[in-house]
């Protein structure tokens, strides 16, 4: 049976990986909508290839260029943030939410309100608006499937099990490009070095988050909302080979692990085919060639971001949204050469140290907290 699919953030790494799977299974999918932030050329190529009904560019100033690129194709073109939400609300069978950062929150909520299946690759949305989002999922009868490799691994390990029987959930972390660096070396890290992830091909923001290990801290918060076992039962282990993507230990002592190549097409395929499986072009793991799997405890002295994230999750309320907003501001400043690598976590800590706003109850509340936190972080930058 042919199903419809919309991809929010189609030109990013997750979006391109999703379209690769669709390309290999063309008879199974009808592409409803594709969106991009500003990459009109790539978006138009994708929309034409897959016969999308709608293409949306978030940067409304790029809409004339998109219309020109799609001229004669019969594909509807739209632009602006409101158009992103309208694309998400078109009611596709599966919506892949892959817009990076809090910018993806409103479109994700628009998709949830349609009650369909949302394959969530935007961890920042769930971090900033966890209670608001999960309440909306329940209210609208939506299905939320995790695309992040770690959370998808947990989801697979929980299949057929009872979450009440879970003793531990363990998120694995590669450790990023600076895992073996000294504190002094880390303090001098450049943006080019930070985005050079040893195992995964990701965008700049997520790559920097992996280098600071904030990515793993955000994933702890995300797991807390997706898998309600209690924050104290969610832990991190550094696993440089990135072969085991997460583990679930049950109370009888059994530990289930999901293994796979470091390729986002694996968790994406899991979500697209759920509750079944689909063929991919990926080679199976060659365990003898891999040889050794190693594990280390995280070092929160050199990488304090995981501690900051856990403290924000424990505080609850507005703290996770403030953490996420401050981190987005800090990472952008680092990539622009405004601050040092170690200043990223320091700026997040400073932003969290003040009096926090009340806990958000609605999407508008989340946006208000986000805006206030960004302003506070920007003010800190001016004094950096």
DSSP code string of 197-211: -SS----HHHHHHHH
Residue 220 annotated as binding site: no
Residue 180 annotated as binding site: no
Residue 60 annotated as binding site: no
| Phi, psi values for residue 170, rounded to 5° | -120, 115
Residue 152 annotated as binding site: no
Distance CA 91, CA 336 (A): 38
Residue 210 annotated as binding site: yes
Find the DSSP H helices in the chain.
13-24, 40-50, 63-69, 81-88, 105-112, 123-128, 130-140, 149-157, 183-187, 191-194, 204-212, 214-226, 265-273, 287-290, 305-315, 319-335, 343-353, 363-382
Residue 13 annotated as binding site: yes
Output the 3-class SS for 90-106: CCCCEEEECCCCHHHHH
Residue 150 annotated as binding site: yes
Residue 14 annotated as binding site: yes
62 token code pair:
């790029």
Collapsing DSSP to helix, strand or coil, 126 comes out as helix
Residue 246 annotated as binding site: no
11 token code pair:
């030109």
Distance CA 376, CA 329 (A): 10
Quick one: which H or E segment has residue 4?
strand 3-8
Residue 162 annotated as binding site: no
Residue 262 annotated as binding site: no
Quick one: which H or E segment has residue 181?
none
Residue 122 annotated as binding site: yes
Sheet architecture: strand order including 234-238: 234-238, 166-173, 244-250, 255-259
Residue 215 annotated as binding site: yes
Residue 197 annotated as binding site: yes
- Binding region: 11-14, 39, 122-124, 148-150, 174, 197, 203, 210, 215-216, 219
- Binding region for Mn(2+): 148, 150, 219
- Binding region for NADPH: 11-14, 39, 122, 124, 203
- Binding region for 1-deoxy-D-xylulose 5-phosphate: 123, 149-150, 174, 197, 210, 215-216, 219
């Amino acid at each position: 049976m042919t199903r419809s699919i919309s991809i929010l953030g189609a030109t990013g790494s997750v979006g391109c990986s999703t379209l690769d799977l669709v390309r290999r299974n063309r008879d199974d999918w009808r592409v409803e909508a594709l969106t991009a932030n500003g990459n009109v050329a790539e978006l138009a190529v994708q929309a034409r290839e897959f016969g999308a009904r709608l293409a949306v560019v978030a940067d409304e100033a790029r809409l004339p260029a998109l219309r020109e690129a799609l001229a004669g194709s019969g594909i509807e073109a739209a632009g602006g943030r409101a158009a992103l939400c309208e694309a998400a609300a078109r009611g596709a069978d599966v919506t892949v939410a892959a817009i990076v950062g809090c910018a993806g929150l409103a479109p994700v909520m628009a998709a949830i309100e349609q009650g369909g299946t949302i394959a969530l690759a935007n961890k920042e949305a769930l971090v900033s608006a966890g209670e608001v989002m999960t309440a909306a999922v329940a209210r609208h009868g939506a299905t939320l499937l995790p695309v992040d490799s770690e959370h998808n691994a947990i989801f697979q390990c929980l299949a057929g099990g009872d979450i009440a029987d879970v003793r531990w959930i363990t998120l694995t972390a590669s450790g990023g490009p600076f895992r073996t660096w000294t504190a002094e070396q880390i303090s001098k890290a450049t943006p080019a070095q930070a985005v050079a992830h040893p195992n995964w091909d990701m965008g700049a923001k997520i790559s920097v988050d992996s280098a600071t290990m904030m990515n793993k801290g955000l994933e702890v918060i995300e797991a807390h909302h997706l898998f309600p076992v209690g924050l104290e039962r969610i832990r991190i282990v550094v696993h440089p080979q990135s072969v085991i993507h997460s583990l679930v230990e049950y109370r009888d002592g059994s530990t289930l692990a999901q293994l796979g190549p470091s390729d986002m097409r694996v968790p994406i395929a899991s979500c697209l085919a759920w509750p079944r499986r689909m063929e991919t072009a990926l080679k199976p793991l060659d365990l003898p060639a891999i040889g050794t799997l190693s594990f280390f405890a995280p070092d929160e002295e050199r990488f304090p971001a995981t501690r900051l994230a856990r403290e924000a999750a424990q505080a609850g309320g507005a703290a996770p949204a403030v953490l996420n907003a401050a981190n987005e501001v800090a990472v952008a400043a680092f990539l622009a050469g405004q601050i040092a690598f170690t200043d990223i976590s320091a700026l997040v800590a400073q932003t969290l140290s003040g009096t926090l706003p009340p806990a958000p109850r609605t999407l508008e509340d989340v946006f208000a907290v986000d805006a206030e936190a960004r302003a506070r972080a920007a003010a800190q930058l001016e004094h950096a």
